[in-house]
């Protein structure tokens, strides 16, 4: 199984999230991606495709934009 936390952390690097919030966001998104992956695998999707589809959900600019609008940025 992929190292979801590392994959999520890599996607958020450079977004400028405040360090106090970064770990919470990483934990929340990691849980979401893991859950989505398991759902896809249970429905018969291959490992590679399930991983790609799960991560695609957090890759969009919309999600990052929403996070940056809601959470304080690092100074």
For the cut 80, the answer to whether the pLDDT of residue 31 exceeds it is yes
Mean pLDDT calculated for residue range 29-53? 94
Exposure class string for 32-63: b at 16+ Cβ within 10 A, else e: ebbebbeebbeeebeeeebbeebbeebeeeee
By mean pLDDT, which of 17-21, 28-32, 34-38, 71-75 is the weakest?
71-75
User: 27 lies in a domain?
Assistant: yes
Q: Which residues form the domain of 28?
A: 4-70
Mean residue pLDDT across the chain: 83
pLDDT for the residue 17: 76
In a domain, 54, yes or no: yes
Q: Is residue 75 part of a domain?
A: no
| Domain count of the fold of the chain | 1
| pLDDT tens string 43-74 | 999 999 999 999 888 886 566 666 666 665 55
């Amino acid at each position: 199984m992929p190292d979801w936390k590392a994959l999520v952390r890599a996607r958020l690097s450079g977004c400028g999230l405040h360090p106090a919030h970064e770990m919470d966001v990483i934990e929340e998104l990691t849980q979401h991606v893991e859950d989505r992956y398991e759902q896809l695998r249970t429905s018969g999707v291959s490992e590679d495709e399930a991983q790609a589809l799960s991560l695609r959900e957090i890759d969009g600019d919309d999600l990052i934009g929403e996070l940056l609008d809601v959470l304080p940025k690092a100074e």
